[in-house]
Structure 1
Amino acid sequence: MNAAVKAELLTDEQKSVYIRTKVLDAGVALRERHHWLKHQDFIGASIMALSLLGMIASGVLYVQGVIAWWVCVPLTALFASFIHELEHDLIHLMYFRKKPWANNLMLALGWVARASTVNPFVRRKLHLHHHKFSGTESDLEERGITNGVPWGIKRLVMLGDNMMAVYLRPTEMLRATKAYIKSQKPATAAEARAMGKEQLHAYFPLGTAYYALFHTWVVTHVVLLIASALSFSITLPTWYAGFLNGLNVFAVVYMLPSLLRTFCLHFISSNMHYYGDVEARNVMQQCQVLNPWWLMPMQLFCFNFGSTHAIHHFAVKEPFYIRQWNAKIAHNVMREMGVRFNDIGTFKRANSFKQVTNPAVLVSR
């Protein structure tokens, strides 16, 4: 029986189990060939340490005048992208499962390195919920990064700025938050209010401080630019001029790398996940493999997320570097079972799943 016929005889749940089994078996075989891969805690801690040192070194080299801003920004964003993948794996307890303090320490360090993100201890709940209800209204994590929003300038702005993603659609995010809280089945009204409060302060304190500084920097430069274009002179107070000079440096070594990394990750993630007409818990409908050649510049700043994240939805426990290593094996079996590849039509459909003219084409690319 060939793979195409076999896939037709299976339910979506059976296809998911088949893919998961093949991917996990490939991971076991890889670790048997390379025994050092079994030291997963050490690998995770090493990647965290090297990435943090890389971010710091990049910033120091810029401040010392060794590298230009256009080198510092992408280089720092690249190191930060490794930390994002580590945070994701830490949320799934792939490192230091038996040492919660070490797991929590790594999460905290990762948040310091990427303050534009949601508090990882809050995100853990959101992300685990995302796996169960990906693509539904209560999937607050994906809704927060614009999944399901029609394409336009508004969505582009929201992709790189998590606060703008809330400010520009307060009603939608409130509705998604209520759906998320309801899905958690709080036992009492007080428990429901506590969940709501947790989401309200999901960026506090690091994210709140980050966006206050980032928006101050953006608004100041926009005002100065407009004034210059209108030949209108603005003299900044001495204290503010000094503050702005410091903020300019902070923008290069921290804020602009955050913006670049966030935009690339959210662009890829929000378009590889489906939304709106997805069956809850049906992994076959949750996401596609999105890896056309023209997205490679963005993939660079999110560790090839579009190509490998769908693998994670089927085989949750494999760390990001194993997913990348075994991507070819995983992609082959995913194609066999009918997982979509490069469904570019999702851009026009605002991420809906079912409106595809010829689904067979999507697994052959």
Structure 2
Amino acid sequence: MNPVNKTSTSALSKTEQDSINTVTQKITQHSNELRQRYRLLNYQNLIGASVMTVSVTGMIVMGVLYVKGLIPGWLCIVVNALLTSLIHELEHDLIHRLYFRKQPLAHNLMMLLCWITRPGMPSPWLRRELHFHHHKESGTETDVEAWITTSGSPWGAQRLLKLVDGFIFGIVNALFAPTWREKIRLTLKVLRLNAPLGLLYWGCWYLFLGYHFYEWASSLAGITHEPSPAMSMIMSVVNSAVVFIIAPNIIRQFCLFFVSSNIHYFGDVMPRNPLQQTQVMNPWWLWPFQLFCFNFGSTHCIHHFVVKDPFYLRQMTAPFAHKVLAEAGVRFNDFGTYKRSNRYSLSAQKV
């Protein structure tokens, strides 16, 4: 590991704290003004429930249309990837209890729907603990959520694998542990984090890949492959599941992790200092990725200063918030982070 120029981890200076307070106050005031101007924004529970209903219904409708042969598979995948990006934003808001805070039945029902429609992720109840810690210690060595999304890792095949398939990466990482005790402990941890929905999700994905690779290899070798009726039925279900929910989530998760891991700084940031935790990334060429994570790179920095605003309000405040963030010294489009493994220091070496 190469040496890294560490930023001081001492307490925030008065100037820094004043800057943070100013950013938070200005953005909060602006969002409150938007709530007064557009009265619908005050019905936060209704908006959240409506977005959830439309998204889940839309996914089901697209799946039915695909199964009936009325739309091509690629259209179902793209639309459902967009809808799951909305559901991810809802989960993020729910983790902060922004919908149905005083109505646990409705709140937990929405949490469950978030998990069912995005089964490759750990449960949102488990993620809540990790996410709250992420806000407290963002970019530090104990920030598990940042590590999961590859922040702090050097760019290469290993980081790319982790972005594409975190489950396989976790298993491979466990198998390379120095002792058998550690191998077993890490493997069981990966299985626990993914149980039960994630195991079914990844199992279907690997069955899909393995089966079609076998078919492809057989055709190249000139071998006729005739699946049994039972296997044909199983693969029909698996193929539909891949188009309906698995492939959309793989696209969404890759785009989200790619954007998130590059806007967060890691390893040499001052604890509890949102001025250093994230940057704003909004170049035109990032839009194919932003599309499937609901403009995360442009708006997530706002969330580190103002957590009480739901995702749609962050989109509305972004033009104003960007000016305030820039005035406070928050970085915009710092592409050097790709070479610095997310280090905040501009002179940090790749690790």
TM-score by length of 2: 0.88
Does the 8 Å contact 1:83/1:110 carry over to 2? Answer: yes
Return 261-270 or 273-282, whichever deviates more.
273-282
What is the identity, as a one-letter code, of the residue corresponding to 2:302? I
| More contact order relative to length (CA 8 Å, sep ≥ 6) | 2
1:182-221 equivalent positions in 2, closer than 5 A: 201-221=192-212
The aligned counterpart of 2:24 is 20
For residue 158 of structure 1, the aligned residue among 158, 162, 180 is 162
For residue 266 of structure 1, the aligned residue among 257, 261, 265 is 257
2:158 is paired with a residue whose SS is: helix
**2:227 equivalent to 1:245:** no
**2:337 equivalent to 1:333:** no
Q: Which runs of 5+ in 1 are unaligned?
A: 1-8, 179-192, 358-365
**2:90 equivalent to 1:86:** yes
**2:349 equivalent to 1:353:** no
Please give the alpha-carbon distance, in whole angstroms, between the structure 2 residues aligned to 1:20 and 1:291. 21
Change (3 A) 1:200 1:104: same
Please give the alpha-carbon distance, in whole angstroms, between the structure 1 residues aligned to 2:151 and 2:90. 23
**CA drift at 1:262:** 0.7
Change (3 A) 1:155 1:235: farther
**2:285 equivalent to 1:281:** no
Please give the alpha-carbon distance, in whole angstroms, between the structure 2 residues aligned to 1:205 and 1:89. 23
Change (3 A) 1:355 1:223: farther
Does the 8 Å contact 1:24/1:315 carry over to 2? Answer: yes
**2:284 equivalent to 1:297:** no
Equivalences, count: 330
**2:49 equivalent to 1:45:** yes
Return 143-152 or 87-96, whichever deviates more.
143-152
Please give the alpha-carbon distance, in whole angstroms, between the structure 2 residues aligned to 1:223 and 1:276. 43
The aligned counterpart of 1:116 is 120
Change (3 A) 1:126 1:172: farther
Coordinate RMSD, CA, aligned: 2.3
Does the 8 Å contact 1:289/1:308 carry over to 2? Answer: yes
Please give the alpha-carbon distance, in whole angstroms, between the structure 2 residues aligned to 1:56 and 1:258. 14
The aligned counterpart of 1:307 is 298
Q: Which runs of 5+ in 2 are unaligned?
A: 1-12
**CA drift at 1:237:** 3.4
Describe the superposition over 1:97-118 as per-residue Cα deviations: whole angstroms up to 9, x where unpaired.
1112211110001111111111
1:202 is paired with a residue whose SS is: helix
Does the 8 Å contact 1:289/1:306 carry over to 2? Answer: yes
Does the 8 Å contact 1:55/1:76 carry over to 2? Answer: yes
